[in-house]
Chain A
C-alpha cells in the first residue's frame, strides 16, 4: 500500500472526485494557477482547466456564496478557505444559508457543498494563521463537520463529503500536511461521515480526540504502555454529527475519560462530548471527566515560548493521561 502525505491524500480525493463527476469543481484564493498556498490543489487546474478550478477574489463570503448558489443548481463545489482563520467573513453564508437551505425549502432544495479549511497551530503562524474555529460552527444543525487526523481518513472523508447531499465543513490540519504520512490504498474507498474510529484498545483510560492531538496521544499511549497504563483511544473523525454510540462504547470500556483538543476549552467540542457522557453514563464513570484543551486566551502567540505554552504536545498529553490513570 503506498505511503503518502496527508496533503497528497486530500489532493488525490479532489482529483478523483473531479474525474468521477464533472459537476465537482474547486474554487478559492490562489487554488488555480498557484495550486494553493499549501499546494493542496496543485496540478488540478492543468488537468481540469480554468472552468473547474477557479481563482477567486479575496472575499470568503463570495467564495461560500458562489458555492452555495452553484450547489443549488446541481453542482458539487469544493470551496477552499485559505486558512480557517479567514473563514469568518463567510460564516453568515455558511450558518444562515448553507445550513438552512434544506429546512427552509421544505426539502425542495439541497446544498451539497464542501468547505475545506485548514486549522491548527504549531507552524509559527501566530494570530491569523493558527486558529481552531470548530466551536463556531459546531452545534449548528444542518452542517456536517469532519476533522481527519491521518492521510487515510483525509482522503476517505473528503470523498464522502463531496458525495454528501448536504453542506460539509472539512477541517484539515495544516500541521499534518507534510508531517503525517500514512498508508492510503490505491483502490476506491470512502470513510463514512458520522463514525468515530477506535485507534487503540485499552482498559485503563479512554482518550477521545480529533485531528492533530491524536498523534501526541498515540505516542504517549505507546510510552505509557511501558508503565503499565493501557489507553483506549477514540478518534471522533466527525464532529457533527457526533458518533454518540461510539463515544459511549469507548467510555464504557474504562469509566475514565480524557477529552483532548487544540481548540480552546470553553465551549469546545469536548464540552459537548463530556455532556453526552455525563447524561448517559453517570453510573459507569470511575473518575471525573477530564479535558485537556487549548487555554482560553484570545489567540495563538507568535513568540516561540508562547506558542509552546499554548500548544499541546506529547508530554502534556502523557501527563494528563497518567494523572487520569492514577486517579
Chain B
C-alpha cells in the first residue's frame, strides 16, 4: 500500500485573515489522527479554533511550534496517509494546479464554522441563471474563491441535469448534490441559516395549450390596486345620488380669451377654465359648508379647511392630488397650483403630502371630451363635482334663440349627509359664480 505525506496548512478562516498563531499542539508525532480530528488549537485576530485534520493517518512531524505565527497557507504539520485514493489525493491534485485554492479547498472540507466565506455570496449572473433554471443554489457545488458558486458551476449543474433528478426522485443514489445540502444543514446549528437560498420570484408561465385564445395578463400595479380598493369602498359604503346642472359660460370664455395670452406671457402657464371653476366651487362651498364634510357614523364632521382634490388622469391610472386651503387663493394662484400638480402627476413625482387632506373633489371630465358623467365619490368625502366639455348650443334667452357656450356640471353626493335641496342650492351657487365672471373680472 502506498504511503503519502500530506501537509496540513493554515486555512483561510476568514476573508481578511492573513496569518494565524499556533496556540497548542493536540497531537504529537506518532499519534494516529482521524479525518476531521483536531490536531492543534490556533488563534487569529478573529477566531480561536481547533484545526481539524483534512486526512486520516499517522502524525509524522510538527513544522511550526507552539506560539509561532505563520501566514495563511503555510504547512504546519505532516501526516502520513495510506492509499491516496480518497480525499488526500484530490486535495493534492488541486494543490498542484492552483495553490491559492488549496487553502480554501482544504478548509472547506475541514473547518466547519468558517468553511467557505464566499459560499453564500452570489453574483448577479449566478442568481439570474438560478432563477432561470429554478435551481436551489444550496445544491450546487462552488469551485470559486472561498467556495463561491461561479457562473460555470451553475451551468455545469444545469448541464448535468442534477436539478431535475433532485426534483423527480429525492434521494436518488446518483445525485451527489443533495448530500452536500444535508452536510451543510447539519453544520448550521446556530440561529443564522446562512445556507438558506434567497427566494426568487417564481414566474408562472401560462401554458399556451390552456388559454389558447391568446388572452394577455396584466399584473395589477400597486396604484391600480389602490384605485380599485378606494372605488369599491366608496361605492359599497356611500349611498350615491346624482344630479346635474347646466351653466352658461359664454362670458367666462370671452374673459379667458382676453386674458390667456397675457397670462401665458406673465406666468408661463396656461390659464385654464378649471381654475375659474375651482374658484366658483370654493366660493360656493363657503356659502354651503356642509358640502365640505364627511360621514362619521354618529356625527357629521364639517371640515374647516377647504382642500380641493383634483382628479388627474394618466394613461393607466388616476390620482387625486390636493390643493390645500384653496379658499385662500385667487384664480391665478389656483391656475398655478393646478399646473404644478398636473406636472407632478405626469412625472410621477407626487408626494404623500400632495395626496392627503382632500375635502371635496373636482374632476375635469371635459378635458377628455365628456359631456355627462357619473363620478364616484372620493372616499370619505361628501361629494364630487365634474366639469364637462364646454359646447356651443342654441339656448332660449328671453324667448329668443341665442348661441351660447354651455357646460354641464355633474355632482355625486353622499345621501347620508346631503339631500337634493342643499345640493341644488350649492350647484346654483356654483352656477351663479361661474356666470358672473365677465370681462371686468380680476384674476389676482
Contact = CB atoms under 8 A, between A and B. Distances in A.
Interface of A: 203-204, 227-228, 254-256, 282-287, 322, 326-327
Nearest to B122: A286
B132 to A, nearest CB: 10
A204 B152 contact: yes
Count chain B CB atoms within 10 A of each CB in A204, A227, A286 and give the residue with the most: A286
Interface in B59-101: 97-98, 100-101
B145 interface: yes
Contact of B124 (A254, A283, A322): A283
A181 B228 CA distance: 73
B125 interface: yes
- Chain A interface main SS type: loop
Given A284-B125, A326-B100, A255 B145 contact: no
B118 to A, nearest CB: 9
B197 interface: no
Contacts of B127: 283
Contacts of A285: 123-125
10 contacts: A255-B123, A283-B128, A285-B123, A286-B123, A286-B124, A286-B125, A326-B98, A326-B144, A326-B145, A327-B148
Contacts of A228: 97
A286 B101 contact: no
Given A284-B125, A322-B98, 12 more contacts: A228-B97, A255-B123, A255-B151, A283-B125, A285-B125, A286-B124, A286-B125, A286-B150, A286-B151, A326-B101, A326-B144, A327-B144
A203 B152 contact: yes
Interface string B101-118: 100000000000000000
Interface in B129-160: 144-145, 148, 150-152
Nearest to A254: B151
A256 B151 CA distance: 9
Contacts of B128: 283-284
B316 to A, nearest CB: 27
B359 to A, nearest CB: 47
Contacts of B125: 255, 283-286
B126 interface: yes
Contacts of A254: 151
B181 to A, nearest CB: 22
Contacts of B123: 255, 285-287
Contacts of B148: 327
Contacts of A322: 98
A327 B146 CA distance: 8
A203 B98 CA distance: 18
B120 to A, nearest CB: 15
A137 to B, nearest CB: 33
A16 to B, nearest CB: 46
Contacts of B98: 227, 322, 326
B97 A286 contact: no
A256 B125 CA distance: 10
A171 B101 CA distance: 40
B427 to A, nearest CB: 57
Contacts of A284: 124-125, 128
Contacts of B100: 326
A240 B92 CA distance: 48
Contact of A327 (B97, B124, B150): B150
Nearest to A284: B125
Contacts of A204: 152
B158 to A, nearest CB: 14
A187 B136 CA distance: 57
Interface in B338-389: none
Nearest to B143: A326
A52 to B, nearest CB: 55
A120 to B, nearest CB: 31
A228 B143 CA distance: 13
Nearest to B144: A327
Pairs of residues from A and B, 8 with the lowest C-beta to C-beta distance, nearest first: A286-B151, A286-B125, A255-B125, A286-B123, A283-B124, A255-B151, A327-B145, A283-B128
The interface centre, meaning the residue of B100, B126, B152 with most chain A CB atoms within 10 A of its CB, is: B152
A227 B98 CA distance: 8
A257 to B, nearest CB: 11
Given A204-B152, A227-B98, A286 B145 contact: no
B119 to A, nearest CB: 14
B197 to A, nearest CB: 17
Contacts of B144: 326-327
A256 to B, nearest CB: 8
Nearest to B126: A286
B97 A227 contact: yes
A153 B134 CA distance: 45
Contacts of A255: 123, 125, 151
Nearest to B98: A326
Contacts of B97: 227-228
A283 B125 CA distance: 5
A259 B150 CA distance: 20
A154 to B, nearest CB: 36
A204 B125 CA distance: 13
A259 B152 CA distance: 20
Contacts of B151: 254-256, 286
A326 B94 CA distance: 12
A126 to B, nearest CB: 36
A285 B152 CA distance: 12
A225 B329 CA distance: 77
Contacts of A326: 98, 100-101, 144-145
Nearest to A288: B123
Most chain-A CB neighbours within 10 Å: which of B97, B123, B152? B123
Contacts of A287: 123, 150
Nearest to B97: A227
Contacts of B124: 282-286
A247 to B, nearest CB: 16
Contacts of B126: 286
A214 to B, nearest CB: 24
Nearest to B104: A326
A254 B155 CA distance: 11
A254 B127 CA distance: 15
Nearest to B146: A327
Interface string B142-182: 00110010111000000000000000000000000000000
A318 to B, nearest CB: 13
